[in-house]
C-alpha cells in the first residue's frame, strides 16, 4: 500500500474476521461447519479463551459452566502459544515479502 491509511483499510477485513470469530461473538458450535477452522488459527480466539478460562476458574463453577457453554476449553495454553508464535512469524514473513516486492522502494 502506498500509504498508512490504505494499509489500514486493507487490513480491516482480516481484523474483522478474527474479531468476529473470537468465540464470544460467534461460538465454535454456533458457526457454520465450513468456518470452524478459523477458530483454530485465530489469535484473538486463543487469547479470549485463555482470559475467559482464567477468570471463570477464579469465579467458580457457574462461571466455568458458562465458559464451557461458549465452547472455551481448559488446558489450551500451549496451543494458544503456538498459534500466537505462528501468527507472528507468518505475518512478519508476509510483511518482509510485501516490503521487498510490492512497496517499490527507491534506492
Percent of the chain at pLDDT exceeding 90: 37
Rounded average pLDDT over 69-83 = 91
The pLDDT value given to residue 18: 77
22 within 8 A of 48, measured Cβ to Cβ = yes
- Cβ neighbour number for residue 56 with a 10 Å cutoff: 20
The answer, yes or no, to whether residue 105 has pLDDT greater than 70, is no
Confidence of residue 107 (pLDDT cuts 50, 70, 90): low
Angle between helical axes of 43-59 and 4-20 (0-180°, round to 10): 50
The answer, yes or no, to whether residue 90 has pLDDT greater than 80, is yes
| CA neighbours closer than 13 Å in the CB half-sphere of residue 104 | 3
* Residue 93 backbone phi and psi in degrees, to 5: -65, -45
Q: What is the CA radius of gyration of the chain?
A: 17
The answer, yes or no, to whether residue 56 has pLDDT greater than 80, is yes
The answer, yes or no, to whether residue 71 has pLDDT greater than 80, is yes
Q: For 3-54, write each residue's pLDDT tens digit.
A: 778 878 888 887 887 777 777 778 888 888 888 888 888 888 999 999 999 9
Domain extent listing, the chain? 4-102
Amino acid at each position: 500500500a502506498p500509504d498508512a491509511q490504505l494499509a489500514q483499510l486493507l487490513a480491516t477485513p482480516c481484523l474483522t474476521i478474527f474479531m468476529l470469530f473470537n468465540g464470544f461473538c460467534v461460538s465454535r458450535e454456533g458457526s457454520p461447519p465450513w468456518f470452524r477452522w478459523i477458530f483454530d488459527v485465530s489469535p484473538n480466539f486463543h487469547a479470549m479463551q485463555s482470559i475467559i478460562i482464567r477468570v471463570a476458574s477464579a469465579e467458580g463453577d457457574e462461571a466455568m459452566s458458562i465458559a464451557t457453554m461458549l465452547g472455551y476449553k481448559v488446558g489450551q495454553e500451549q496451543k494458544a502459544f503456538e498459534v500466537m508464535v505462528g501468527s507472528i512469524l507468518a505475518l512478519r514473513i508476509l510483511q518482509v515479502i510485501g516490503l521487498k516486492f510490492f512497496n517499490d522502494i527507491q534506492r
